Structure 1
Amino acid sequence: MTPTLDVLRSHRSIRKFTEQPILPEQLDAIMAAAQAAPSSSFLQASAIIRITDPALRQQVMALCGDQAYVGAAAEFWVFCADFHRHLQWVPEAQTGFAEQLLIGAIDTALMGQNSLIAAESLGLGGVFIGAVRNHPAELVTLLGLPKGVVPMFGLCIGHPDQDPEPKPRLPREMMFFENRYQTEQDPALMAAYDQAVLHYYQTRTGGNKSMTWTGQIGATLAKEARPYMLAFLHSQGYCLK
């Protein structure tokens, strides 16, 4: 094993942080790692808003469901897909296509993952915040995001004040296929995985949460999440064609 693989395999979401700040050289290293992520067609279709103003951070936290770690982490960044930059410098550029949303989302996700891996390699921890999409129109106004910029997710980064166990992942046989997608899967594998997830939640919460993976998926996918999203994307100039 290599140190890089050790960092990748030991990932845990950290939601409790100390008050210790992140050093400037650490921030610089994380930003450099983010920018080193691959970019489709070299479009570099992302922007990152670093929230340093305490009052603004509290407002953003409120829009993210008042998740305390959004306010407590040493750093909170909002990762955005960004095609405004392209129109700014090349006004005749053609935008609004659905494929561009995919490009922006993928580019931005890769930057986010690079950022977190870099932070973890420095002994820091973090957690991604999908709740920045809870009130996207309000967040656009709050952060002054122009048309062509869409908030995708947030990232808390800081010094960990907890040491949770890694979540058990799906059996490899259920995710890695050779040549063709495998539609028929072993029910026994899923049953065993459900028990592993149930044990994880019971242990992590002291028995306050008892849920299997399939139970969690059933609850999460019982209805449409964020039904306003397509209209919001249209308002920001995405998926128009």
Structure 2
Amino acid sequence: MNEMYTTLTGHRSIRSYTDEPVSEEQLRAIIEAVSTSPTSINGQQVTVISVQEPETKSKVAELAGNQAWIVQAPVFLLFCADFQRAKVAAELHGQELVITDAIESIVVGATDVGIALGRAIAMAASLGLGTVPIGGARRDPLALIELLGLPQYVFPVSGLVVGHPAGPSETKHRLPLEAIWHRERYDQERLEGVIREYDEQVSAYMTKRTGGKESRSWSQTVAGVYNRIYYPEVRRMLEQQGFDFK
């Protein structure tokens, strides 16, 4: 396989960074990868806000749930779905921005951000940099919007920490391809068996990693997180930013 295959399949999240800065050239390369991402209708509904000032990063880390690696790494990138530019485009032609009255705009924006985020992670890895996505950007989104001055029709989807890894990080076991690759139609019958086998692998990995202190499986983790709405301010944030759910 080629170098890209190795880069993508060798992905791991990094949560410990050195003091070495990310160069302007490296940061620009990451943003260029984002800017050339495919987007719905070529609407380019993605904005990235780079945060490097220590004081601002510290506040972002607090809002995201006190994630220390946000402070430690030299760069924090906030990935936003952005329909503010679409609003300006509509006004230039005497049109009204209506798409934000439908949940389709939220799906489109989040999808475009997801594609862009993946490209940013891949570009960073190709430059020898480490990353970790920060879903905690949605933990206190109204405060984050105020901190970074996001206008209406723009909402935060995810953050991304970028820096030089302080050390190696293990690659976690992933669901087997049988769980995510369905041929011709969705095969629900096999899911439970595949997940049970995967749980055994993850549990063994956790037991080894923690010296027997923990044996939590994948399904236990997912069940324990998804048994509640863990970022309850998202809907209010979207409504404040001008989005509806029709």
TM-score by length of 1: 0.95
Q: In the TM superposition, what whole-angstrom CA distance separates every residue of 1:196-224 from its partner, at most 9, and x where no partner exists?
A: 11122233334343200111121111122
How far 1:64 moved relative to its partner? 0.7
**Could you tell me whether the CA contact under 8 Å between 1:82 and 1:149 is conserved in 2?**
yes
Task: Find runs of 4+ consecutive structure 1 residues off by over 4 angstroms.
Answer: none
2:15 matched to 1:10? no
Structure 2, unaligned runs of 5 or more:
none
Q: In the TM superposition, what whole-angstrom CA distance separates every residue of 1:82-130 from its partner, at most 9, and x where no partner exists?
A: 0012112322232322101111111111111101100001111100000
SS of alignment partner, residue 47 of structure 1: strand
Structure 2: distance between partners of 1:37 and 1:200? 35
Partner of 1:160: 165
Structure 1: distance between partners of 2:19 and 2:167? 13
Structure 2: distance between partners of 1:182 and 1:67? 38
Partner of 2:47: 47
Partner of 2:28: 28
Q: Identity of paired residues, percent? A: 35
Whichever residue aligns with residue 180 of structure 2, its letter is: M
Whichever residue aligns with residue 128 of structure 1, its letter is: P
Structure 2: distance between partners of 1:105 and 1:126? 19
Partner of 1:95: 99
2:177 matched to 1:177? no
**Could you tell me whether the CA contact under 8 Å between 2:140 and 2:233 is conserved in 1?**
no
Structure 2: distance between partners of 1:64 and 1:22? 22
SS of alignment partner, residue 239 of structure 2: helix
Partner of 1:125: 130
Structure 2: distance between partners of 1:186 and 1:141? 43
1:115 corresponds, among 112, 115, 120, to 120
Partner of 1:37: 37
Query: What are the equivalent positions in structure 2 for 1:58-73 lying under 5 Å apart?
Result: 58-73=58-73
**Could you tell me whether the CA contact under 8 Å between 1:70 and 1:156 is conserved in 2?**
yes
**Could you tell me whether the CA contact under 8 Å between 1:83 and 1:95 is conserved in 2?**
no
Q: Root-mean-square deviation (CA), in Å? A: 1.4
Return 215-224 or 63-72, whichever deviates more.
215-224
2:243 matched to 1:238? yes
Structure 2: distance between partners of 1:190 and 1:240? 33
TM-score by length of 2: 0.93
How far 1:146 moved relative to its partner? 0.7
Structure 2: distance between partners of 1:132 and 1:207? 32
- Taking a change above 3 Å as real, the CA distance of residues 105 and 186 of structure 1, as seen in their structure-2 partners, is closer
- Taking a change above 3 Å as real, the CA distance of residues 179 and 134 of structure 1, as seen in their structure-2 partners, is same
- Taking a change above 3 Å as real, the CA distance of residues 189 and 138 of structure 1, as seen in their structure-2 partners, is same
**Could you tell me whether the CA contact under 8 Å between 1:64 and 1:131 is conserved in 2?**
yes
Structure 2: distance between partners of 1:226 and 1:205? 28
2:78 matched to 1:83? no
How far 1:240 moved relative to its partner? 4.3
SS of alignment partner, residue 238 of structure 2: helix
How far 1:24 moved relative to its partner? 2.0
